Structure 1
Amino acid sequence: MLLLAIFVALVVMVCLNVPIAIALALSGVLGLYVSEGPGSLVNIALDMYDGANKFSLIAIPMFVLAGAIMNATGITRRLIAFVAAMIGFVRGGLAMVTIGVSLFFAEISGSAVADVAAIGSILIPEMKKRGYGGPLAASVTSSAASLAIIIPPSIPMILYAVSAGTSVEQIFVAGIIPGLLGAAGLMGVAYWFARRYDLPVESAFQWSQLRSTFVSALPAFALPMIILGGIFGGLVTATEGAGLAVVAAIVVGLWYREVDWRQLKEAMLDGGIQTAVVMLLVAASVLMGGFLTRAQIPQQIATGLLDITSNKYLILLILNVFFLVIGFFLHSAAAIILVVPIIVPLIQQAGIDPVHFGLVVTLNLAIGQQTPPVASVLITSCSIAKANIWEVSKVNVYFVAVLLAVLLICTYVPQVPMILVDLFYR
Structure 2
Amino acid sequence: MLIFAIFVGLMLMICINVPIAVALAMCGVIGLVLTEGVDSLVTIALDMYDGSTKFSLIAIPMFVLAGAIMNAGGITDRLINFVSSLIGFVRGGLAMVNIGVSLFFAEISGSAVADVAAMGSILIPQMKKRGYSKEFSAAVTSSSASLAIIIPPSIPMILYAASANTSVEQLFVAGVVPGLLGAAGLMGVAYFFAKRYNFPTEEAFNMPRVRETFVDALPAFGLPIIILGGIFGGFVTATEAAGLAVLAAIVVSAWYRNIDWSHLRRAMLDGGIQTAVVMLLVAASVLMGGFLTRAQIPQQLAESILSITTQQWAILLILNFFFLIIGFFLHSAAAIILVIPIVIPLITAAGIDPVHFGLIVTLNLAIGQQTPPVASVLITACSVARANIWEVSKVNVWFVGVLLAVLMLCTYVPSVPMFLVEYFYR
- Structure 1's consecutive aligned runs of 4 or more residues displaced over 2 angstroms after TM superposition are none
Counterpart position of 1:375: 375
Counterpart position of 1:83: 83
- Summarize deviations over 1:155-194 as a string: whole Å, max 9, x none: 0000000000000000000000000000000000000000
Structure 1 residue 59, shift from structure 2 partner: 0.2
Distance 1:232 1:254 in 2: 27
Counterpart position of 1:278: 278
Distance 1:16 1:391 in 2: 26
Counterpart position of 1:300: 300
Distance 1:59 1:393 in 2: 32
Counterpart position of 2:121: 121
Distance 2:292 2:258 in 1: 51
Distance 1:14 1:377 in 2: 19
Counterpart position of 1:196: 196
Structure 1 residue 93, shift from structure 2 partner: 0.4
- Summarize deviations over 1:53-87 as a string: whole Å, max 9, x none: 10000000000000000111100000000000000
Structure 1 residue 203, shift from structure 2 partner: 0.5
Alignment-mate amino acid for residue 145 of structure 2? A
Counterpart position of 2:361: 361
Structure 1 residue 245, shift from structure 2 partner: 0.2
Counterpart position of 1:93: 93
Q: Does 1:152 align with 2:124?
A: no
Alignment-mate amino acid for residue 16 of structure 2? L
Counterpart position of 1:179: 179
Alignment-mate amino acid for residue 111 of structure 2? S
Counterpart position of 2:408: 408
Distance 1:2 1:118 in 2: 45
Distance 1:379 1:34 in 2: 39
Structure 1 residue 407, shift from structure 2 partner: 0.1
Distance 2:398 2:176 in 1: 22
Counterpart position of 1:384: 384
- Summarize deviations over 1:354-375 as a string: whole Å, max 9, x none: 0000000000000000000000
Distance 1:191 1:228 in 2: 29
Counterpart position of 1:313: 313
Give the SS at the match of 2:18. Answer: coil
Distance 1:15 1:331 in 2: 13
Instruction: Name the Cα RMSD after superposition.
Output: 0.4
Identity %: 78
Distance 2:8 2:173 in 1: 38
Give the SS at the match of 2:234. Answer: coil
Alignment-mate amino acid for residue 351 of structure 2? G
Distance 1:368 1:9 in 2: 23
Distance 1:247 1:307 in 2: 52
Structure 1 residue 110, shift from structure 2 partner: 0.2
Counterpart position of 1:165: 165
- Summarize deviations over 1:75-119 as a string: whole Å, max 9, x none: 000000000000000000000000000000000000000000000
What TM-score results when the alignment is normalised by the length of structure 2? 1.00
- Summarize deviations over 1:276-315 as a string: whole Å, max 9, x none: 0000000000000000000100000000000000001100
Give the SS at the match of 2:85. Answer: helix
The runs of 5 or more residues in structure 1 that have no matched partner are none
**Correspondences of 1:45-64 after superposition (within 5 Å):** 45-64=45-64
Counterpart position of 1:255: 255
Distance 1:200 1:53 in 2: 50
Counterpart position of 1:339: 339
Alignment-mate amino acid for residue 19 of structure 1? P
Structure 1 residue 218, shift from structure 2 partner: 0.3
Distance 2:206 2:19 in 1: 52
Distance 1:246 1:344 in 2: 33
Counterpart position of 2:67: 67
Q: Does 1:212 align with 2:207?
A: no
Give the SS at the match of 1:53. Answer: coil
Distance 1:67 1:28 in 2: 34
Alignment-mate amino acid for residue 36 of structure 2? E
Distance 2:142 2:130 in 1: 18
The runs of 5 or more residues in structure 2 that have no matched partner are none
Structure 1 residue 15, shift from structure 2 partner: 1.2
- Summarize deviations over 1:141-162 as a string: whole Å, max 9, x none: 0000000000000000000000
Distance 1:150 1:327 in 2: 15
Distance 2:421 2:231 in 1: 13
Distance 2:289 2:59 in 1: 23
- Summarize deviations over 1:191-232 as a string: whole Å, max 9, x none: 000000000010100011101000000000000001110111
Alignment-mate amino acid for residue 154 of structure 1? S
Structure 1 residue 16, shift from structure 2 partner: 1.4
Distance 1:376 1:401 in 2: 18
Alignment-mate amino acid for residue 354 of structure 2? P
Alignment-mate amino acid for residue 381 of structure 2? S
Alignment-mate amino acid for residue 348 of structure 1? T
Alignment-mate amino acid for residue 233 of structure 1? G
